[in-house]
Chains A and B, each alone.
Chain A
Amino acid sequence: MFDFLDSGQYDLLGAFWVTAKLALYSAIGSLIWGTALVAMRVSPVPLMRAFGTAYVNIVRNTPLTVVIVACLLGLNQTLLITLGGQRSEDIGFRLAVLGLIAYTGTFVCEALRSGINTVPPGQAEAARALGMSFTQVLTLVVLPQAFRAAVTPLANVLIALTKNTTVAAAIGAAEAAFLMKEMIENEADALFAVFAVFAFGFIALTLPTGLILGWAAKRLAVKR
């Protein structure tokens, strides 16, 4: 039943490696971009607040598929942005990372905002009483606590991101979903086996993430 695994025709590990790389790069990028967005949303400058709010509300309400296709059509096919990629596979991969960051950043921003809301106002007030500026209050006092409180929602975002990497198949990034589509068409008689293999692959990717971060959330929680 699983003999298609031995045929050497399909690069399963390679496909999941691409998925893992997509998830990893996008996770790092969206963490940075999400933090920047949340900083804008709580900043004293009204224009930045407005931009942050507008960005989050617009991008969060757009299907990821549209975001990723827009990256390819708008940025690559029209504006000729290649992000340093040479062959079209590289370009597709890099654009998919960019699209995932743009989309996932909004969810990171919302998770962090809910984290900031758990920090007691007295913390920020005390920091201000010490004469700290907004940047200092945010980076030295509020965000470190917010991150700890936001580990669980952030873990959920990360797991969702891992699953969302499959959407990159829409612009031809050679990741797991792309291979699965090819395989179920060629190996129609082993449909259940193919599905089982890919399901297992994703569980293997997401389950440890959930467990480790769940443990981390408990360790890091600010005791109050």
Chain B
Amino acid sequence: MSSVLYDTPGPRAKRRNILYTIGFLAVLALAGWWVLAALNEKHQLDADKWSPFVTDSQVWTTYLVPGLMETLKAAALSILIALPLGALLGIGRLSDHRWVRVPVGAVVEFFRAIPVLLLMMFASQLYREFTTVSSDFRPLYAVVTGLVLYNASVIAEVVRAGVLSLPRGQGDAAVALGMRKGQSMLYVLLPQAVTVMLPALVSQLVVIVKDTALGGALLGFGELLSQNRQITANYGANTIATLVVIALIYIVLNFVLTTFASRLEKRLRQGKKTAAVTIPAQAGATDAVKKAVSDA
């Protein structure tokens, strides 16, 4: 698309582009140099602040890897609980019965409108006051509860959009074959909708991984980000270095997940072509699904 916006550069445009490149490079280099120089002046680039992450494998085995495992644990639990719950809510919203559709819709809209952090704080206090969940697991429970409530409602919308995106004929054909509503949903509509939804669901996993960090910063959940406390207490307040390392781990992890998601999307699209099934509404469908998810 981008190439449509400008002509193939001729000699003058090429020269101008080179000029822009040099100018932009200069700005970037200047900003980079200023930051690095300032950090260096503040002794933030000193070797002893960074070397623990390279020379001392114990930083990884004692803090970072266990923290990462907690992050993955919370994320995996959340998606596993949120997925079936979200599917149920999504189907409920499509129900023919008003008394199912309306309350389910209210629940979904309610939990989508509330910041996930507030849900986590509420859950944490709820467990503290009314249950005997040990303090080892309370932050995990709270984080997972918050993430499940929020993401189940997002997934419900994804499922709804996915099912609605299917051509009407699919449902009608199922009815014509004598299937009941449940059967047509289970055997005809959902299996097709799942393929449309999968990439969106994997991207939702990225959102969940990122949101676990909230529990670390504000609820004392022992995930990756919260490890910076213990690391910096041991290695002389090397906060900047620690934060950079932790951020890099998140970025790599999420980059792997997003790459996986886009690969999946490509695969699914190719699969469509080879199967020679052209569903006109499909392009609109993926957009609808994306829309439901883009509010991450």
Contact = CB atoms under 8 A, between A and B. Distances in A.
Indicate whether A and B are direct neighbours in the complex (CB within 8 Å). Answer: yes
Interface of A: 41-49, 51, 57-58, 61-66, 69-70, 73-74, 77-79, 107, 110-111, 114, 116-117, 121, 124-125, 128, 133-134, 137-138, 142, 152-153, 156-157, 159-160, 163-167, 169-170, 176-177, 180-181, 184-185, 188, 191, 195, 198-199, 202-203, 206-207
Nearest to B35: A79
Given A47-B24, A163-B116, A166-B115, A184 B122 contact: yes
A63 B117 contact: no
Contacts of B255: 57, 61
A44 B35 CA distance: 28
A63 B210 contact: yes
Interface of B: 1-2, 4-7, 9, 13, 17, 20-21, 24-25, 28, 35, 38-39, 42, 44, 110, 113-118, 121-122, 125-126, 129, 206, 209-214, 216-218, 225, 239-240, 243, 246-247, 250-251, 254-255, 258, 287, 290-291, 294-296
A41 B258 CA distance: 19
Among the interface residues A63, A69, A167, which one has the most CB atoms of the partner chain B within 10 A? A63
Contacts of A46: 17, 21
Contact of B1 (A121, A167, A177): A121
B114 A184 contact: no
Given A66-B247, A167-B117, A188-B125, A44 B110 contact: no
Given A128-B7, A177-B115, A180-B121, A47 B21 contact: yes
Contacts of A58: 251
B218 A169 contact: yes
A128 B6 contact: yes
Given A48-B24, A63-B225, A160 B6 contact: no
B294 A111 contact: yes
A65 B225 contact: yes
B122 to A, nearest CB: 5
17 contacts: A42-B1, A44-B6, A62-B251, A65-B213, A66-B250, A73-B243, A77-B239, A79-B35, A114-B287, A121-B1, A137-B5, A163-B116, A166-B115, A170-B214, A177-B117, A177-B118, A181-B218
A177 B216 CA distance: 15
A156 B295 contact: yes
A42 B67 CA distance: 39
A191 B126 contact: yes
B20 A184 contact: no
A34 to B, nearest CB: 13
Contacts of A41: 2
A124 B1 CA distance: 10
A74 B116 contact: no
Contacts of B114: 163, 199, 202-203
A167 B214 contact: yes
Nearest to A118: B287
Contacts of B294: 107, 110-111, 153, 156-157
A188 B216 contact: no
A61 B251 contact: yes
Given A66-B247, A202-B115, A42 B5 contact: yes
Contacts of A78: 38-39, 42, 44, 240
A76 to B, nearest CB: 12
Given A41-B2, A61-B206, A69 B295 contact: no
B57 to A, nearest CB: 24
Contacts of A128: 5-7
A159 B115 CA distance: 10
Among the interface residues A44, A77, A142, A203, which one has the most CB atoms of the partner chain B within 10 A? A44
